[in-house]
Structure 1
C-alpha cells in the first residue's frame, strides 16, 4: 500500500535516488544532496502551524511503499511561485496586422515573455519511480493527494494554481523548442540550461531572452510543433490535471515549450467537490467505492487511495489499523473524493 506524506530529512537518501533517476526537465528535483536537503528543511519549516498566508513555503510530498519502506515517487507545492524572483513563462498571443488599402488581414501567433503567473501556487516536482509509472491509481494519488492538502488549508495557498508540464525532449536531453529559440540567446544545450535553472533559478536565463514578442512562424518547424506539447511519459498526468479543471491554452514553458496550465484553486475538482467525514473506530462494512482520502493535519498529513464503506454525509468507520495509517482517532475528520 502507498501512503502520501510530507517528507523529512530521513527521506534524503531515497529522494536523492528518485532525483538521479528523474528525466531532464524536472528542475525542481535536483540530483544534488545539498539542494535536496535545503528543500526538505524548507518543508519542515513550512509545517509550522502558525503559517496563515502564502509566502515562500514549499511542501514536498513523498509516496511511501509501506511494504518495502522505499519511496515510489514524489511531488510538491510551492505556496507562491516567484516569491523571491519573477516566475517567467511565454504567453500565447495573437497579433493582428491589417491593411485597409490592400484588403489584407493577418492573425499571427506570437510568444511574449511574461511573469503573469508570479504569485500563483505551483504544483511541481512530480516523479514516479519506474515500477510505478503507468499505474493510474499511483499517478492519481501522487498528483491529487496534495490537492486535498490544499483544500484543507486554503489560507496557505494562492487563489490560483499553475503547473509546468514537461515538454518534448529526447533521451539525450535535446529539446527542439530550446534548440530553435533559447539556444540563440544562451549558448548551452537544453540539459545544461535546465541544470543552471535548477541551481540558480529561472530568472537568470529568462533575463537573456528577448523582451519583445517572438513570431512563431519564424521558428524552425520542429520548434513550432513542440509548442504546447507534453512529453509522452507525462500524458497521463496531464490528462488527470485537465480533469481537475486546469486550462492549457495560454502559457508555455520558456525552455522546452511544454504547456503551463492554470486554474482557480477553489475550482479544482479535488478542492471543490471533496467532502469531509467524521471518523469512527470500529468494524467497517463492505466497501462501497474507491476513495482518495486524506487527513486534515499538517505535519502528520497522510493520504491514500483505498476501498471504503462510506456514503457522503455520513461518518466514516475505520478499522484501528487504517486509522493508525491515516494518523486519525475517533472524532477526527477526513477529506474524501471519489478515486478511480
Structure 2
C-alpha cells in the first residue's frame, strides 16, 4: 500500500538516496544531507504555519510504501517561486527589426534573462522509483500536489508553473549549456546543476548575460534544445499537460527545458475534484481509478484507489485504507478520477 504524505525528519537517509538516483537537472534534490535536512525542516514549518496567502513556504511530499517502510518517490510545491530570491528564466521572444526605406520587417528569436515568473507557485523536485514509472503511482505523486492546492487555495498563487528538465546526453552533456552558459562559468552542466542544488541559483543567474541572446547565433545543437524535454522527464510533462498546463515563452536558464504554466483554478485536478464523506465498510473492486485524499494540512494523505462512486454519495473504504488516509467513518475527503 503506497501513500503520499508530508516528509518527516526520519526520512532523511532515504530522501538522500532518492536524490542520488534523481535526474541531472532536478536541482531541488541535492545529494547533500545538510541541504536535505534544511528542506525537511522548512517543509515542516510550512505545513505547521497557519498562513492565509502564499509566501516563502515549501511543501515536500514523499511516496511511502507502508508495507516495506521505504520511500519510492518525492515531490514538492514552492508557494512562491521567487519569494526569497528572484526566480530567473529565459524569455524566448522575437526581436523585431524594421526598416521602412528597405521594406524590411523581420523577427529574430532572442532569449532574455528575466524574473517574470517569480510571483507564481512552483512545482518541483519530482522523482519516482524507476519501477513505478508509467503507473498510476506516478500520477499520484505529481497530481496529489494539485489536490493539496485544491484543498488549501489560500496558500498558493493564482498561477502554477513547473520547469521540465531539458535535454542532456548520456554523458550528462547539455548542448545548450555548452553553447551559452559555459562561456560565463568554467563548469560542466553537471557541475552547475549540482551547485544550483546546494545554493540558490540566483548567484549563477546574475552572472549570465543581461542582454538579449540572438538564437540564430547559437549552434544548431543548442538551438534544438530550446523547449526540448529530456526523455526521462517526458512522463512528468505529459501528466501536467493532461492537467491543462501549457508551454509558454519561457525556458530554463541552464538547459533550456520548457516551462509549463496554468491558471490555478483551471487545473483539472483542482477544477474537477469533488468532496465527499468517507464511509467505513467493505470496499468492492471498482471500475474507475481515483486519486483520493483527506483535506488536512500537516496530516495530509493521498492514495490511488479503485472505486465505483457516484456524486453526492459517501465513499466506502475498507478499514486499512481509512487508516492509511488518516480518515474515520464520516470524515470529509476529496477525490478526482485519474
Q: TM class by shorter-chain length?
A: over 0.9
What is the CA–CA distance in structure 2 between the aligned matches of 1:44 and 1:50, rounded to whole Å?
Answer: 12
- Aligned residue in 2 for 1:272: 271
Alignment of 1:192-271 (within 5 A): 192-271=191-270
- Aligned residue in 2 for 1:152: 151
- Aligned residue in 1 for 2:327: 328
What is the CA–CA distance in structure 2 between the aligned matches of 1:215 and 1:159, rounded to whole Å?
Answer: 32
Asked if 1 retains the 8 angstrom alpha-carbon contact of 2:32 and 2:198, the reply is no
What is the CA–CA distance in structure 1 between the aligned matches of 2:141 and 2:36, rounded to whole Å?
Answer: 19
- TM-score using structure 2 length: 0.97
RMSD: 1.2
- Aligned residue in 2 for 1:112: 112
Paired residues in the alignment total 338
Larger mean Cα displacement after TM superposition, 278-287 or 138-147: 278-287
What is the CA–CA distance in structure 2 between the aligned matches of 1:306 and 1:286, rounded to whole Å?
Answer: 9
Divergent runs of 4+, >6 A: none
Provide structure 1 residue ranges, at least 5 long, that are not aligned to the other structure.
Answer: none
Please give the per-residue CA displacement for 1:59-113, whole angstroms capped at 9, x wherever unaligned: 1111112231111111000111111110000011111212222222211111111
What is the CA–CA distance in structure 2 between the aligned matches of 1:52 and 1:100, rounded to whole Å?
Answer: 54
What is the CA–CA distance in structure 1 between the aligned matches of 2:240 and 2:287, rounded to whole Å?
Answer: 26
- TM-score using structure 1 length: 0.96
Alignment of 1:306-321 (within 5 A): 306-321=305-320
Please give the per-residue CA displacement for 1:177-205, whole angstroms capped at 9, x wherever unaligned: 11111111122111111122122211111
What is the CA–CA distance in structure 2 between the aligned matches of 1:222 and 1:284, rounded to whole Å?
Answer: 54
Alignment of 1:265-304 (within 5 A): 265-304=264-303
Asked if 1 retains the 8 angstrom alpha-carbon contact of 2:122 and 2:160, the reply is yes
Sort the Cα spacing of 1:213 and 1:267 in 2 relative to 1 into closer, same or farther, 3 A. Answer: same
Provide structure 2 residue ranges, at least 5 long, that are not aligned to the other structure.
Answer: none
- Aligned residue in 2 for 1:21: 21
What is the CA–CA distance in structure 1 between the aligned matches of 2:197 and 2:286, rounded to whole Å?
Answer: 44
- CA shift for structure 1 position 206: 0.9
Asked if 2 retains the 8 angstrom alpha-carbon contact of 1:252 and 1:260, the reply is yes
What is the CA–CA distance in structure 2 between the aligned matches of 1:98 and 1:49, rounded to whole Å?
Answer: 54
What is the CA–CA distance in structure 2 between the aligned matches of 1:9 and 1:215, rounded to whole Å?
Answer: 46
What is the CA–CA distance in structure 2 between the aligned matches of 1:200 and 1:288, rounded to whole Å?
Answer: 47
Larger mean Cα displacement after TM superposition, 257-266 or 99-108: 99-108
- CA shift for structure 1 position 171: 2.8
- Aligned residue in 1 for 2:140: 141
What is the CA–CA distance in structure 2 between the aligned matches of 1:313 and 1:184, rounded to whole Å?
Answer: 60
Sort the Cα spacing of 1:186 and 1:286 in 2 relative to 1 into closer, same or farther, 3 A. Answer: closer
Please give the per-residue CA displacement for 1:219-267, whole angstroms capped at 9, x wherever unaligned: 0111100000000011111011111111113110000000011111111
Is residue 2:116 matched to residue 1:80?
no
